[in-house]
């Protein structure tokens, strides 16, 4: 279960190999092995360069230009910081998208993690058929960002959708959820929360790692269920919580597919589902302001980096990496 702590075993591989080669000594060996190493690496390296690194660097360059997709690169004009200035001073819909995204992440991520942890606790028992339930709860997250799922969601949560039929059994008149600007984003949140399977599985794995003797010791000391949860489970689980928190926050910020499908690619009704990435996509591909969209992408990258850094710096106050010394 390498997931519980940051380092994974593969990290050790190259280091020790290199040390090994070093011991064997002669320089020419070292050289040819190094070359062979890069040759073996090359499929990955070419992929990284071609699909990630070069386009990323290019987009950094483009963010300082007025690139509009249709104009050839050679005729692109350098505009300096104009795109960044526009973003921060003259584009209300940009800030609207930031607000929508923050709202989404701040509400959906904690609830999703809460649901994942709650269900993981329930499924961490030796009940009959518990494996089946684990599978069932995990299933929605396998469907992930699928378009089909988003379409199902739209049809479940519109005025005459299944959800309102259910409500009407109880005499409640539902709202046109996905078509109501006050509720469309909430509908997306529910979809995100419902897909708690992936963090749940990780929580489960984490729970399995908590040594039972800790619980035994705690109950000998007279701690009840809740005390045990708070003083044993949570601290022991904190690295896993940390991991899930970072990952899900990043995922939450990047939500795109569901919002795109639900709003037919517009972010509607009335921009209520205009997530950051959707706004970026519309700016780049529909409005053809690819330079500006590139600038948005870089600010987004930096923002996520900063948020992640904040998580890491606060992590040392509440994340306990205890295995190793404890046993």
Partner 1 sequence: MHPATPPTTDAPVGRAHRTPLPRRRLLRGLLAVTVAAPLMFGAAACGDDGGGAADPNAPVKLSVFWWGGDARAKLTEDALALYTKKHPNVTFEKTWQANQGYFDKLATLTAGGNPPDLFQIDDNYLAEYAARNTTLDLTSYQESGKLDTSKFPESLWKYGVVDGKLAGLAAGENTQGLVYNKTLLTRHNLPEPTTGMTWEQHIAWAEQVTAKTKVPGTQDPSADYKAFWVWLRQQGKDLYKGKELGFTAEDVTKWFDLWKGARDRKATPSADVIHEGNSSDVTKQLVVTGKSATSWVWANQMPDLKKNTKDELGVIAYPGDPSAQWARASMYWSVFKGSKNKDVAVDVINFLNNDVEAVKLLGTDRGLPSNLDLRRVVSDDTTDPAMKQSIAVEAELTQKFGESPQVPIKGHSKVKSELIKAAENAQYGRATPAEAATQFIEACKSAIA
Burial class (CB in 10 A: 0-12, 13-18, 19+), 303: middle
Binding flags for partner 1, 136-165, as an x/- string (CB under 8 A): ----------------------xx------
Give the residue, chosen from 102, 265, 303, 307, that forms a contact with partner 1 under the rule CB under 8 A.
Answer: 265
DSSP secondary structure letter of residue 221: T
Question: Which range of residues in 217-225, 251-259, 267-275, 293-301 is near partner 1 by CB under 8 A?
Answer: 267-275
Residue with tokens 């896993």: 240
CB 275 within 8 A of CB 255: yes
Give the residue, chosen from 29, 34, 47, 216, that forms a contact with partner 1 under the rule CB under 8 A.
Answer: 34
Our finding on whether 224 is near partner 1 (CB under 8 A) is no
- Single out the residue of 247, 254, 245, 248 nearest to residue 97, CA to CA: 254
* Vertex 113 angle, CA 112 and 117, to 5°: 120
Binding flags for partner 1, 235-264, as an x/- string (CB under 8 A): -----------------------------x
Query: For the chain, what is the total number of helices (H) and then of strands (E)?
Result: 16, 0
Give the residue, chosen from 271, 278, 293, 319, that forms a contact with partner 1 under the rule CB under 8 A.
Answer: 271
Question: Which range of residues in 11-19, 123-131, 195-203, 218-226 is near partner 1 by CB under 8 A?
Answer: 11-19
Strand partners, 65: 78
Question: Which range of residues in 50-58, 108-116, 125-133, 223-231 is near partner 1 by CB under 8 A?
Answer: 50-58
Give the residue, chosen from 36, 39, 51, 58, that forms a contact with partner 1 under the rule CB under 8 A.
Answer: 58
Site for partner 1 in 164-203 (CB under 8 A): 176, 179-181
Distance CA 278, CA 280 (A): 5
Strand partners, 78: 65
Distance CA 220, CA 228 (A): 11
Question: Which range of residues in 192-200, 239-247, 248-256, 284-292 is near partner 1 by CB under 8 A?
Answer: 284-292
Task: Provide, rounded to whole angstroms, the least separation between the CB of residue 227 and partner 1.
Answer: 27
Q: Which is nearer to partner 1, 74 or 212 (CB)?
A: 74
Q: How many residues does the chain have?
A: 327
CB 195 within 8 A of CB 111: no
Q: Which is nearer to partner 1, 75 or 80 (CB)?
A: 75
Provide the token pair at 18. Answer: 């290199």
Distance CA 184, CA 189 (A): 9
Residues that bind partner 1 (CB under 8 A): 1-2, 4-9, 11-12, 14-16, 18-19, 22, 30-31, 34-35, 38, 49-50, 53-54, 57-58, 68-74, 90-91, 93, 158-159, 176, 179-181, 209, 264-266, 268-271, 282, 285-288, 290, 321, 323-324
């Amino acid at each position: 279960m390498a997931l519980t702590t940051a380092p994974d075993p593969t990290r050790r591989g190259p280091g020790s190999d290199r040390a090994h080669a070093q011991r064997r000594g002669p320089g020419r060996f070292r050289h040819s092995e190094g070359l062979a190493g890069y040759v073996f690496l090359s499929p990955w390296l070419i992929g990284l360069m071609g699909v990630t690194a070069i386009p990323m660097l290019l987009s950094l360059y483009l963010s300082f230009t007025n690139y509009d997709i249709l104009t050839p690169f050679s005729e692109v004009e350098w505009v300096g910081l104009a795109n960044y200035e526009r973003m921060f001073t003259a584009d209300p819909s940009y800030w609207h998208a930031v607000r929508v995204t923050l709202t989404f992440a701040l509400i959906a991520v904690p609830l999703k993690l809460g649901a994942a942890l709650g269900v993981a606790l329930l499924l961490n028992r030796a009940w009959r058929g518990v494996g089946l339930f684990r599978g069932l709860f995990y299933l929605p997250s396998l469907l992930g960002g699928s378009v089909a799922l988003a379409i199902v969601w739209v049809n479940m949560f519109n005025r005459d959708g299944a959800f309102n039929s259910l409500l009407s059994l109880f005499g409640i008149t539902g709202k046109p959820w996905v078509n109501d600007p006050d509720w469309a984003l909430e509908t997306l949140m529910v979809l995100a929360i419902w897909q708690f399977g992936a963090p749940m599985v990780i929580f489960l794995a984490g729970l399995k790692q908590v040594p039972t003797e800790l619980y035994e010791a705690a109950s000998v000391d007279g701690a009840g269920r809740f005390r045990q949860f708070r003083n044993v489970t949570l601290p022991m689980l904190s690295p896993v919580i940390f991991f899930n928190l970072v990952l899900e926050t990043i995922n939450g910020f990047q939500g795109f597919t569901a919002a795109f499908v639900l709003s037919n690619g517009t972010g509607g009704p009335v921009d209520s589902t205009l997530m950051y990435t959707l706004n970026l996509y519309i700016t780049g591909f529909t409005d053809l302001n690819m330079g500006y969209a590139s600038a948005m992408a870089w600010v987004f990258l930096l923002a996520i980096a900063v948020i992640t850094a904040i998580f890491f710096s606060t992590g040392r106050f509440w994340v306990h990496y205890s295995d190793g010394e404890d046993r």
